[in-house]
Amino acid sequence: MLIDARSLPSGTTRRADVCVIGGGAAGITIALELAGSGLEVLLLESGGEVEEPDTRDLAAGESIGRPATTLDSPVRLDQMRLRYLGGTTNHWAGFCRPLSPIDFEVRDHLAVSGWPIGPADLEPFLARAAEWVRISDENFDVATWEERLGLATPKLDSAAIDTFTYQLTFPTKFGELYRRDLLDADDVTVVLHANVVNLATADGRRVDGLDVRTLTGTALRVEATAYVLAAGGIENARLLLASTDADPAGLGNGNDLVGRHFTEHLQVYAGFGVLDVDPSELVGYNGGDVTITAGRHAGSVHGAKFALGLTDEHLREAKTTGMEIQILPSSFPAGAPVQEEGATMADVAALLGHTGAMPASSVYLQGLAEQELDPESRVLLGSATDALGMRRVQLDWRYSARDRERALDGYRIAAEAFGAAGLGRLQLVPGGIHADALADLVPGEWVSAYSSTPSEIDLENFVIGMGFHHMCTTRMAADPSEGVVDADCRMHEVDNLWVGGSSVFATGGVATPTYSIVALAVRLADHLTTVLR
């Protein structure tokens, strides 16, 4: 059932077994996984079914740390997460990959690392998560995907770098895709335009109820046996910090960890390359489509593509962080980009013996790099307030010179392996490449929109964009002095409050997060069913 909070009389109290805050990827998955479990579920969503400017403004805030950009264009906080049914899946790019085993390990060379669960704890939920995100299945094995796509990918003779598979789902907007299921579920009620502004508590050990407001002035109370906070990686922290009934530091924040360790995938736009092989040999990096053969979405089509990534073995040995690199077909003019040393595309092509007209065989490199967790990188509350009187977010995103160096090292390793395999020459041009028509870029399509500005090549200060994968702000840890939630995603300090979404990630890794967010959501729904029945 779908109802609108604005149509309820002010002062109404609604009750449920489970109340989920936020109707994005995590919240919708949890609510629908609980459907039919015998538990009465309320899903409170701040927005309606389409984007509305007044609600969007509730997500606005201030960036006070590293600038949030995509390439070199600034991105506002209310652009990088969406506030209506379906949440940020209303404009995600749909890249799916599971976390790697190393992401879960304690890595002594990092200041903060290690999950209290391992890959085997998530593995039983990956097949159901694959259905929810609408990809073929939980199999990401490269050989399987070469067969399914009918596309080979060149093998690199390197222990440090290997080929990985992404499954791409498009456009998988959870609100639109699962609207019918939410309507049909007898025991799930979605309340739209319901903004949670406070998790009310007398003693800080239990949530007694939620204070809910609409922008039209309706005030509601919601009471449940169990609460799940699934409002997104930034808003989860904001709501906890803003819930000060028992402690001015916020709810569940006795160890001053809520909002800390904010981490991102560093988007690094680093270089270009000229191929020494026919571009068709690398077409797997651009990907292809497959039809889903079984399950809820049988018959629908989705994509898959390959990318390069540092191997877990290399990360352990070199004591470094993760890095994935996409090789995107492109076409640069012969005179550009220009490397720091002055080499143009034509010069690089000449190294490979190409003379005369430039071959239509250039590529563009774009990577996602893991950053090391830093407690000073964090979500804070500012002094400005929104239309509901809640303090707006201040985002103090930090990354270090070491993070930057590690990302560049990843590119160098990729370039060496690429050259050694005889595929072509990759050149690093960090900071010197711009996407001219970013709005037109569609994942999986050939891209020819890049230009370069040689004077901006800067190995120490090159532009790093944000991946928009806000993680670790309520990180999972066995020890309450190291994290906010336990291995079951339950708040260490609050008995009846669980958290969904990438805020519970213990480290960011390098895989795009939503597939893992959904796997954790499926796991959490099973856990709630067990403990509440």
Ligand X SMILES: Cc1cc2nc3c(=O)[nH]c(=O)nc-3n(C[C@H](O)[C@H](O)[C@H](O)COP(=O)(O)OP(=O)(O)OC[C@H]3O[C@@H](n4cnc5c(N)ncnc54)[C@H](O)[C@@H]3O)c2cc1C
Nearest approach in angstroms of CB 322 to ligand X is 15
Contacts of 271 (CB under 8 A, 6+ apart): 364, 365, 411, 415, 426, 427, 428, 429, 430, 433
Q: Which is nearer to ligand X, 93 or 152 (CB)?
A: 93
In whole angstroms, the minimum distance from the beta carbon of 346 to ligand X comes to 34
Count H helices, E strands: the chain? 14, 24
Q: Are 266 and 407 in contact (CB under 8 A)?
A: yes
Out of 251, 282, 423, 517, the only residue in the binding site for ligand X (CB under 6 A) is 517
The answer to whether 394 and 380 have CB atoms below 8 angstroms apart is: yes
- Residue where the block lists tokens 């068709």: 280
What is the crossing angle of helices 126-133 and 514-532, to 10°?
A: 120
What is the token pair recorded at 443?
């994942």
501 binds ligand X (CB under 6 A): yes
Residue placing its CB nearer to ligand X in the complex, 95 or 418: 95
Per the listing, tokens 């990759």 go with: 426
At its nearest, how many Å lie between ligand X and the CB of residue 307? 12
Decide whether 76 or 412 has the Cβ nearer to ligand X.
76
* Phi/psi at 310 (5° precision): -65, 140
Exactly one of 19, 20, 27, 366 binds ligand X (CB under 6 A); that residue is 27
Residue 87 as a binder of ligand X (CB under 6 A): the answer is yes
Task: Please say which residue, 22 or 432, places its beta carbon nearer to ligand X.
Answer: 22
Amino acid at 273: G
Residue with the closest Cβ to ligand X?
24
Work out whether 230 is an interface residue with ligand X (CB under 6 A): yes
Cβ atoms within 10 Å, residue 286: 20
Instruction: Pick from 8, 21, 346, 494 the residue near ligand X by CB under 6 A.
Output: 21
Q: How far is the CB of 412 from ligand X (least distance, A)?
A: 26
Interface pattern 161-200 for ligand X (x via CB under 6 A): ----------------------------------xx----
Interface residue with ligand X among 20, 22, 56, 525 (CB under 6 A) is 22
Using CB under 6 A, which of 52, 62, 78, 91 touches ligand X?
91
CB 136 within 8 A of CB 130: yes
Please check whether residue 197 is in contact with residue 245, taking contact to mean a CB–CB distance below 8 angstroms. Answer: no
Cα–Cα distance between 74 and 303 in angstroms, integer?
29
24 is a site residue for ligand X (CB under 6 A): yes
The token pair at 371 is: 């950053």
Which positions from 28 to 57 touch ligand X by CB under 6 A, shown as an x/- string?
Answer: ----------------xxxx----------
Among 61, 232, 287, 337, binds ligand X (CB under 6 A): 232
C-alpha distance from residue 525 to each of 73, 178, 226, 240, 468 (Å): 38, 17, 11, 21, 25
Residue nearer to ligand X on the CB measure, 172 or 344 = 172
Q: By CB under 6 A, tell whether 23 contacts ligand X.
A: yes
Considering only CA atoms, which of 375, 369, 372, 377 is closest in space to residue 398? 377
- Phi/psi for 261 (5° steps) reads 65, 20
Does 92 interact with ligand X (rule: CB under 6 A)? Answer: yes
* Residues found near ligand X in the complex (CB under 6 A): 21-27, 44-47, 80-81, 83-84, 87-89, 91-95, 195-196, 230-232, 235, 239, 468-469, 501-502, 512-514, 517
